[in-house]
Amino acid sequence: MDQYKVDFHIHTNYSDGQASPTSIVKKAKELDYDMIAITDHDGVDGVREALIAGEAVNLKVVTGIELATETEAGIGLHILGYYIDVDNRHLKDVLQDLAEKRNARNERLIGLLREMGYEISMEDLKQVQANAYIGKPIIARALAKKGYVDHPKAAFADGQFLGSREAKAIKKEKLKTAEAIALIIEAGGIPVLAHPIQTRGIGDPGSEEFYTGLDSILRTLKKQGLKGLECYHPDQNEEQTMRFIQLAEKYHLHITKGSDFHGLDFGEA
Question: What does the pLDDT look like over 195-231, one tens digit per residue?
Answer: 999 999 999 999 999 999 999 999 999 999 999 999 9
Kindly state the average pLDDT of the residues 59-66.
98
Q: What is the pLDDT of residues 26-58, one digit of tens each?
A: 999 999 999 999 999 999 999 999 999 999 999
Q: What is the pLDDT of residues 255-264, one digit of tens each?
A: 999 999 999 9
User: What pLDDT score was predicted for residue 125?
Assistant: 87
- Expressed in angstroms, the distance from the first to the final Cα of the chain is 19
User: What pLDDT score was predicted for residue 2?
Assistant: 56
**Secondary structure (3-state) at 165:** helix
DSSP letter at 171? P
- What are the residues facing 82 on neighbouring strands? 64, 190
Mean pLDDT across the chain: 94
Q: Residue 10 above 60 pLDDT?
A: yes
181-209: b or e for each residue (b if 16 or more CB lie within 10 Å)?
A: bbbbbebebbbbbbbbbebeebeebeeee
- Phi first, then psi, for residue 225 (nearest 5°) are 115, 5
Percent of the chain surpassing pLDDT 90: 88
**Overall pTM surpassing 0.85 (yes/no):** yes
- Phi first, then psi, for residue 198 (nearest 5°) are -85, 0
Alpha helical stretches, state H, the chain = 21-30, 45-57, 89-115, 122-128, 136-145, 165-168, 177-186, 208-224, 238-250
Q: What is the pLDDT of residues 86-133, one digit of tens each?
A: 999 999 999 999 999 998 999 999 999 999 999 998 888 888 877 778
